[in-house]
Amino acid sequence: MVQPARVGDTVDQIETPALVVDRALFEQNLDRMAAATSHIRLRPHAKTHRCPAVALQQIARGAVGVSCQTVGEAEAMVAGGVRDVLITNEVVSAAKLRRLVDLTAAAQVGVLVDHPAALADLARTASALPEERAIDVLVEIEVGQGRCGVSDPSDIVALARAAAAAPGLSFNGLQAYHGSAQHGRTPDARQTAIAGAAVRVRSALAALTAAGLTARIIGGAGTGTLLLEARSGLWNELQPGSYVFMDRDYRANTLAPGDPVFAQALHLYATVISAAAPGRAVLDVGLKTVAVDSGPPDVDQPGWQTVRVSDEHTTCTVPAGVTPGTRVRVVPGHIDPTVNLHDWIVVVDSGVVVDLWAITGRGSSA
């Protein structure tokens, strides 16, 4: 891939479309998260950035490691120097389980389970691991989003017991992540969702205790709800991702008093390639450079309105005076799948390119 800029370029020399991070705002986001979570384990989610350079800065500020969503993402993080990865997802194929086991040679590795057959496959693959390389297992419990995770406390206990008994595995606790709660627009909506999740966590913990099992870790939380989980007295390891860069969808949440405020630290830089009709301009950004699952992106410029996004174009209504070559900054609706469309993050400070971070986990969805 052609790099979109070189260190020392001015922002106007960055080749578009390109992801551009404002270093000061990015570091402010990391600092604010570190301050908000200083009393609790932080395991930021690498699915947002897939970029070891970002992960290492999170860890330098106190994060215990990173969360990943796929084995490939974890491989990219470990190759980039991260030494503690939790895959906050189920892993099922024989080849992926072998890759997971291989990762334990270089890092502390954890993974989720929510099904006895999948756990049995994992246990078989990991059975020869020495104790110091044992894979941490969290039992994923369903806390209200209707996706992965076990509901019945007796099923949770059975999985925990099987993990605890398996050579090569170590039962480490529960994963209790409520994805849809992150985007509850009001503090009340988010509070209600996490209160519901807490009821499920308490019931699972009671069942584990009754069975003589200890959950060392209760993992979950995201950028939208993390203080709610942190204050619950239940969760003790938080996994927010989007706060590093932010997006329009998260910024549409109304914050509660005391919530940390994260800035839009990443923009997609774009250039007008066509302005052939009055009041209309077409940007060089499209479905292959910005994710639209949360709606079209916003243009960070007064009087601009996005009308339509196609493969390589975003059509906008614009004020007079816009010509081909006009450059603008675009705010993505949803940051994680947008970052995954790119190979590089251009880092700027005071209008100058100061670094380029390779998104080495880009495309690592297997």
Q: Which of 32, 61, 251, 280 contacts its own copies by CB under 8 A?
A: 280
Binding mask 340-359 for its own copies (x = CB under 8 A): xxxx----------------
198, 144 Cβ separation under 8 angstroms: no
Specify the residue, 312 or 349, whose C-beta has the smaller distance to its own copies.
312
Asked if 11 is part of the footprint of its own copies (rule: CB under 8 A), the reply reads no
User: Considering the complex, what minimum distance in angstroms separates the CB of residue 146 from its own copies?
Assistant: 7
**What b-and-e string marks burial along 293-313, b requiring 16 or more CB atoms within 10 Å of the CB?**
ebebbbbebeebebeebeeeb
d(CA 314, CA 284) in angstroms, rounded, equals 7
Minimum distance from CB of 178 to its own copies (Å)? 12
Question: Contact 5/18 with Cβ under 8 angstroms?
Answer: yes
Among 31, 81, 83, 93, binds its own copies (CB under 8 A): 93
Closest to its own copies by CB, 265 or 268: 268
User: 19: helix, coil or strand?
Assistant: strand
Segment (H or E) for 133 = none
Query: Residue 2: what residue type?
Result: V
Q: Tell me if 320 contacts its own copies by CB under 8 A.
A: no
Q: Are 71 and 46 in contact (CB under 8 A)?
A: no
Site string for its own copies, 156-195 (x = CB under 8 A): -----------------------x----------------
Which CB atom, from 71 or from 129, has the smaller least distance to its own copies? Answer: 71
CB of 310 to its own copies, least distance (A): 6
Which DSSP string corresponds to 154-180?
Answer: HHHHHHHHHHHHSTTEEEEEEE---TG
Reduced 3-state DSSP string for 197-211: HHHHHHHHHHHHHHC
Residue from 289, 331, 347, 353 touching its own copies (CB under 8 A): that is: 289
The residue to which tokens 């509901």 are assigned: 151
Decide if 338 contacts 49 (C-beta within 8 A).
no
Tokens (6 digits) for 201: 């966590």
User: Footprint of its own copies on residues 114-143 (CB under 8 A)?
Assistant: 114-115, 117-118, 121, 140, 142
Which of 235, 334, 346, 347 contacts its own copies by CB under 8 A?
334
Closer residue to its own copies in complex, CB, 2/320:
2
Q: Please report whether residue 16 would count as binding its own copies according to CB under 8 A.
A: yes
Site string (295-314) toward its own copies, x via CB under 8 A? -------------xxxxxx-
Q: How far is the CB of 103 from its own copies (least distance, A)?
A: 13
End-to-end CA distance of the chain: 21
- What one-character DSSP code corresponds to residue 347? E
Q: In angstroms, rounded to a whole number, what is the distance separating the alpha carbons of residues 176 and 218?
A: 7
Among 132, 257, 276, 321, interactor with its own copies by CB under 8 A:
276
